[in-house]
Each structure stands twice: as structure tokens, then as C-alpha cells.
Amino acid sequence: MMLNKLFVFLFIIILFLATEFIVSSLDKVKDEKHLSNVVADLNKAVKAIFNGALISSEVLKEMIEISDGKGITLKKFNLAAKQLTEGYSDVESIILLPNGVVSYVYPYDDNKNAIGHDILSGEDIKLGCMESILKKDVSIIGPVKLVQNGKQAFIVRRTVRTDNEFWGFISSIVYLESINNVVDNVLSKHGFDNYLVLGYNLGCKGKNEKLISSKGRLEGSLIKGVVGFSNVKWELSVSKVNSGIYFRTLVFLLLLALFLLVLLPIRYFKKYQGSEKQKFIFENEAHTDFLTGLLNRRGFERKIKAFHSVVDYGSIAIFDIDFFKKINDKYGHDVGDGVLVGFANFCMEHVSDKYVLCRSGGEEFILLMPITKIEQAKEICDQLRSMVSKENFEVEGLSLEVRISVGTAGYRDTNEIKSALTLADKALYRAKQEGRDRVCVS
């Protein structure tokens, strides 16, 4: 009798433990899946905000790099900045900092107090600036208190170099308020009324923890996820969702029914296989040709869009390696790939960094030459063709000679670039028809 009571007692204890185990496992899976969806939506929303700032700084960087004077006039800056801030509503202002000193600001009235501020002189932010210079990259800094108006904001800071020398920075400003609104909208949509988002000010010497956004009060056990974009890494904390007594009771009764009705040994509960946490990958967007390291066609199209309303006339050329198929057929595709890489490196070494070079596919390359008249473009292409013909490309112990055919055409504004590309393609066809190893103009 005592043995039976002990068995019943142990049986009930086991049922309670099994119930708690099942509910906890389901809660864990549910929490992870829920948090994964929240973080994915936050990443998407934050990326959308910062992308506008990144594109704005990239456009102005291109303007500076292709300008003959290695700079930009106030009139052109204001015109471009006005169009960019109107096109990207979350970009509150744009700042130009030659040698790290604030020189141009837009809009002026909201940012005039920042004029003359030297960000390389302050010890608290100098380290972050020097990292940006050395990496030749773009970084997102914040939240910081703005010198011009005291508001909390994020700064998208892009390093500009001309002729491989440091020129200065371009900063696009996004207010913390915009980020807070996005965070609250996303978390509210997913049913979280209490949360905490912490980040780090990567632009300061101490890289101290910073509050990005918070709401309500966190209680009980917490689950955490990472929101990341570019160099931004934020930690999101929310309270675990625990199932209530009714759900636990239901699970307990179901287990009890299973034991009583089936009268079979307890089967091991198979843990529910939760979904893996989504991996969050940032940016660089697939704009680079994997073999040569040049822009691919998608990256080339992006460059064209960046030139709209900024660059006037120019020329475009299409290069095609003559009889490239014979190289692949005779020596194999590995040697052919080596020739493509060698040719791309040769072009990058001898083509001005004001121009945009891309591999459009196979053995075909495109060279965009802004602010270059067709006569000058033909001369540039012919010089490059001549240099290529005198170069021996060393690949896997072989010394190979390469010839190229070139077609080139001009355009009067950026809206004509695609039609100029078609004309250049026709000129390339004519160059091949006329015997190859030559430049033809359409």
C-alpha cells in the first residue's frame, strides 16, 4: 500500500516535471522564433534609414573625387544636399569636412553653429576619426550630442580620398528620434511594450555603452538579440514570454491522459526542433565581380544612378579581349581567369581613378569617363589598347600576349549613358569587323 502511494506520488512529480519541461521548451522555441522575427524586422527598418545616409554621402564623395579641383563649390553642394535630403527624409542634414573641419552644412540655419568645428582636434572622438581614415571606409557613429544644436543623433561618416591622399569627411546626420520611432513601431507591432536597446558609440575613445531606446520596465528573465548594420551593433533585451497556469494545466492533463489511456511506458519527449536564429549579413551589397574585384554590372548601374543631377557630359567605352575563347580552349579556364584578373589589374593601374571601370561579363569590360569629351576618350582608349598590346601577362608559368578591341561613344548628360552604351557596343562590333586591336567611335 505504501509502495503504491509512493509510486503515485513519484508519478505525479514526474508528470509535473515533464509538464514544466515541455512548456519551457515550447516557450524557448517560441521566444527565439519571435525574437528572431523582431530582430530581422528591426534590421530591415534600421538599414532602410541608414541606407539613405550612406547613399547621400556616397554621391557627394563621387562628386568630390571626379571634380578637377578636388573639391566642390558651395552652390553645387547645396543643390546636391537639398535633393538628397528631400529624397531621403530621415537624413536631417549633410556636412562637408575638408581635413576634418566643418566647412559646408545643409541646411545652413540648423547647422551654422558647427561651421569651423575641427573633429580631429577633440581627443574623445579623434581615435574614431583616425580609424575611419586608416580603413578608408564609412562608419556609423552615435548616438552623440551634436555641436550645432545639442540634439542626439547618429553620424554616418564617410572618408574621402583623392589621389590616395586623405581629403576629409562627409557626414550625414540621422536624429536619434527617427531611430526611436522605428524601434518602437517594430517592437509594438510584435507585441513588446517593454524593451531596452543598448549600443556603443564607436566614434569615441572609450566606446562607452549608450542607451539607444527603451520603453516600460523589464521584469523576470530576459532574452537578447543583436541588431546589426554596417559597423552598428545594438543589443536588444525583452522579457521572456512565459505560458500561464491554464496552458500548464492543459499540458499536465494531456500527459496524464496519455499515461492512463495508453498504459505504455513513457516515451521520451522529443525536443521540438527550433528554427535556427537568422543570420544577419550586412553590406556590402553584391556590387563586385568575384573574380577581378571590379564593379559588376549591378554596381555599374548603381554608379550611374549616383551621377544623376551631379555630372554633366562624358564618354563610355566597351573593351573586349580579342580571341579570348582561344585562350580558354588552348590553356583551360583557369588560365583564362588569370588573364582576366591580370587585364583588370593592368587597367586599374593605368586608368584614372576619376573613371569607373567594371566587368560586365565574360571578357567584356566597361569604362565610364565622366566629364571627358569623345576625342579625349578615344585617345585614352587607344593609349590603353597600345599598352595592353605591349604587355605580357604571366599566368601559371605562361607568358601570354593580349589584344583588345574597343568601342566608344559620348553622352551629353547622364540620362543618355545607357543609349551611349548601346552606341559603344555597335562601335565595338565595327572594331571587330575591321580586324580587331583597334578603337572605333560611334
Nearest to 289 by CA among 366, 401, 346: 366
Instruction: Provide the pLDDT for residue 265.
Output: 47
Instruction: Provide the pLDDT for residue 250.
Output: 73
pLDDT band at 123 (very low <50, low <70, confident <90, very high): low
Mean pLDDT of the chain: 82
Indicate whether 166 pLDDT > 80: yes
C-alpha dihedral sign at 148, 149, 152, 153: negative
Which ranges in 263-392 belong to alpha helices (H)? 297-307, 324-331, 333-350, 374-389
User: How many other C-beta atoms are found inside a 10 Å radius of the C-beta of residue 181?
Assistant: 15
Instruction: Provide the pLDDT for residue 127.
Output: 56
pLDDT band at 167 (very low <50, low <70, confident <90, very high): confident
Instruction: Provide the pLDDT for residue 131.
Output: 63
Indicate whether 442 pLDDT > 70: yes
Mean pLDDT of 103-115: 92
Strand partners, 97: 169
* Prediction pTM value: 0.49
Lowest mean pLDDT among 180-184, 200-204, 237-241, 375-379: 200-204
Rounded-to-integer distance, Cα 138 and Cα 54, Å: 8
Instruction: Provide the pLDDT for residue 270.
Output: 39
Nearest to 428 by CA among 275, 262, 313, 317: 317
Mean pLDDT of 415-438: 94
Q: Are the C-beta atoms of residues 231 and 131 closer than 8 Å to each other?
A: no
Which range among 23-37, 207-221, 289-303 has the greatest average pLDDT? 289-303
- What Cα–Cα distance (Å) separates residue 142 from each residue in 71, 206, 209, 233, 358? 27, 13, 10, 11, 35
Percent of all residues in the chain with a pLDDT value above 70, rounded to a whole number:
81
Question: Residue 98: is the preceding peptide bond cis (ω within 30°)?
Answer: no
Indicate whether 279 pLDDT > 60: no
Cell of 55: 547613399
Mean pLDDT of 195-224: 74
pLDDT band at 406 (very low <50, low <70, confident <90, very high): very high
Instruction: Provide the pLDDT for residue 276.
Output: 42
Q: Are the C-beta atoms of residues 64 and 167 closer than 8 Å to each other?
A: yes
